[in-house]
Structures are given as C-alpha cells and as structure tokens.
A and B are shown apart, each in its own frame.
Chain A
C-alpha cells in the first residue's frame, strides 16, 4: 500500500500535472514494444547504435566494475511530467515494489561491490518501504541517492521527509529542468517551479546545499524540448548565480541529462514532428568518448517487480539484462541474483542508447565525457 495520501487529481493538494499517463489514457505507446517499433521504423542514417559502437571499436559493450545499485521502487508519482520516460503518475498505484522484493534487493546488494544505492521511481518516497530501504542501506555503509521531484516534499504526508533524508545523510538528486520558471513549468506542469523553489528552501533549512558532503543537494536538468543538454559546468555557474540572486536558494552541484526517446518524451517527439530531427541530432552528436562512462557499465537496475536490467531506460523498454550466454532475461529475479553472471554479460543496446552517447554524454550521474 502506498503512503502518498490523496494523489487524486481532484484533491486540493494535487501536484502539478502536465499531462496524463499513457497508461491512464490507454495509449498504444504505453507498451514498450510499440516504443521500440517507433524507433526501429526510422530510416535516417547513423541510428544503428551497435554499428556506431563497432565503427568506434567499442562493440560489444561490456560492464565495468559495479558501483551503483539502482532500485526503481515503482511508477507512482504525484506528478505527470511531459518528458517522463517511466510513464509515472498518480494513477500508477499498482506498480510498487513490495516488502519481499525490497528484502531481496538488500540481500543482492550484500553480494555486490556497489558503493551507492540509487533509489528512483516514480516518486520513490511514495513507496511504503522507502524509508526502511534507505535506513537498511545506510546501516550497510552505502551512499544513498534519492531521486526526488521536489514537489513531493510539499505533500502533507511527506512534511518530515527533509529531516529524515538529512538524518540519514541521503544525497538528494532533484529534478529541475531550468533555473527559471518557463521551461520548468512547460515540462513539469504549471506551478512546478514555484513549488520546487519552496521545496529547495526546505532542503536548505535542514542543511542541504551548503557544501556539507553529508547533505549533498544535486540538481538535475533535462532539456525542456527537442535539444541536447548544455555544458554541465557552464550551466552550473549560471544556475548558481540565478538561483541565489532571484530566490536565495543554494545547491551543491548540477548534473545534465539528455532526454531519452522513451515513453512520454517519445510521444511528445512524435506529436510535435520532432522525432526524426531529434534522433538525427543524437546520431550526429555520437561521441565515442562518452561510451566508457556510460551508466549501464557500472550500474545494476532493478524494477519494482524485481527484474534485473542494465539501466533504468532499458527497464522502461522492457529490455531485461542478458546472462553471460546472451539469453534475454537470463538473470531472472533479483532474489536469484548471480554476481558472476551479471559481470559476464553483454549490455543490451538499442537505438535509444544514442541519447546517452550524444554530445557531452549523459547518465544518471550527468555528463560522461
């Protein structure tokens, strides 16, 4: 049972909604296979990711040392952003990681070399087991990341969340597409920016974003449109000056991610006639130097139902990790996790992977090149 309180869109506490989930609308694109077909149907040159890797002498893509244990605890979210690759939203109450799967994740974590547990969603804080998972990971000496949409901190049920995160030294990675209101609200819904600023003030109040490594506040920006992320270091300077000057809020670092042509962002690309141009942009910006730092090489990604993936994007496309013999889904459920089979696998790739190798590179940790 989720603990998000009343997330119905009619509630007085309703968070900004930019759209409705594909699932709620019954849209055919809700199916991962339909998304993969839409990408595979494109005929522009340079879109064959494996061929691009091979031409750069980087094929097949093999994992490096496992560093990040990423747990997607579910698709429930108080928001419905236009670009969401998860198709998360208030109606996704069914897809929530249960207690047994959380325990299985912890058991598997103990058998890996991962130093960081990256908890994502949806809004991961709305999962009933979120705080237990955080506490258990911290007790194991792991660095914990909470991928937070900011507005969740303002929900009546989550008022004590900043204090909880601070007490456990959790790094908060917050979605904020832009330091100004227009692009933030265009992507995430009207009123999001104002709420995000209020949430950032709450985090600042409990010691986040002021240089304390145990209270690290990271902002994460996705472009609000069909273009690539900017230079992370240059943007950080501008964002810091702008947010300090206009809103009096501070943060520790900014990371930039490209949008992946998956789920609702894919829908937006198709609806606005931007799909071909965006994929060509990704293909033209293919940067072999970004490959070594790809997150799929140092990350294990677990879905709400305990399946194992190379990354959160493959997870949303239903592309389960292969075992060492190349069998799709061969790694099975996280309760049966085999570290050797995971280390010996080939990373599953498809056309969407061009999003992570474009320009400065893109990963859950920001630029890779």
Chain B
C-alpha cells in the first residue's frame, strides 16, 4: 500500500463535502467563516489558536492550512512554535493532571 492516505489535493476539495448534504455544509462553512472573522480576538490570534488545535487533534489538513494562514497573518516561526507548545503543554498536562486520580487510588489502596 504505497498510496498515501492523506493527499495535498484533499484540502482544496473540502467544499465537495456538500455533495451529500448541501444544507449542512452551507451551515458549517458559514459558521466556520464567522468564527475566524476579526472579532474580540484578532484574525491572527485565531489563526494561532487554530494552529495549536490542529496539532492537538493532529489533523494534517489543518496543520497545512494554518501553517500557511499564520504566516500570511504575519506570525513568525517563534510565535508559531510557542503556539504549538501551548497545545503540547495542555495535552501533556491533561495526562499528568490525571495523576491525581492515580494518587487518590494509591492513597486509598496503599498502606
């Protein structure tokens, strides 16, 4: 199986998801556009959040899209790297903080 599962041409084909249900696709893309519009947060801040989340959910399409988008919104490598460390810290922290559950079990069961 040499064919890659994720292909670059998939991302520009995203709107074709409307093929099976145009109404839901339209609602989603309208919502999506509104989410990323300049608001209480700047479009650049939202792009960096999206970049971090893309790495947390490990979506190759989103990583491609928001690496480009963050660059075009004026972010540089250091800022983008810090954003990814935020994702990393939350993912890692989410594992580690569950250690308090483990501690509770050990304290209850142990001597």
Contact = CB atoms under 8 A, between A and B. Distances in A.
Interface residues of A, number: 17
23 contacts: A178-B74, A178-B76, A180-B76, A180-B78, A182-B76, A182-B78, A183-B76, A183-B77, A223-B71, A225-B71, A227-B71, A228-B72, A230-B44, A230-B73, A230-B74, A231-B43, A231-B73, A234-B38, A234-B44, A234-B73, A235-B73, A237-B42, A238-B42
A227 B68 contact: yes
B76 A234 contact: no
Interface of B: 38, 42-44, 68, 71-74, 76-79
Q: Is the interface of A mostly helix, strand, loop or mixed?
A: loop
Nearest to A256: B74
A182 B77 contact: yes
A363 interface: no
Contacts of A231: 43, 73
Given A182-B77, A238-B44, 13 more contacts: A178-B74, A178-B76, A180-B76, A182-B76, A223-B71, A227-B68, A228-B72, A230-B73, A230-B74, A231-B43, A231-B73, A234-B42, A234-B73
A6 B76 CA distance: 34
A234 B71 contact: no
B72 A227 contact: yes
A229 interface: yes
A180 B73 CA distance: 14
Interface string A221-249: 00111011111001101100000000000
Given A180-B78, A182-B76, A234 B68 contact: no
Q: Which of B42, B43, B72 has the most chain A CB within a 10 Å cutoff?
A: B72
A191 B73 CA distance: 24
Closest 3 A-B residue pairs measured CB to CB?
Answer: A230-B74, A227-B71, A235-B74
Interface of A: 178, 180, 182-183, 223-225, 227-231, 234-235, 237-238, 359
B72 to A, nearest CB: 5
Nearest to A232: B74
Contact of B72 (A178, A183, A230): A230
B13 to A, nearest CB: 14
Contacts of A235: 73-74
A234 to B, nearest CB: 6
Nearest to B78: A182
A165 B29 CA distance: 51
Contacts of B79: 180
Contacts of A178: 74, 76
A229 B68 CA distance: 11
Contacts of B78: 180, 182
Contacts of B77: 182-183
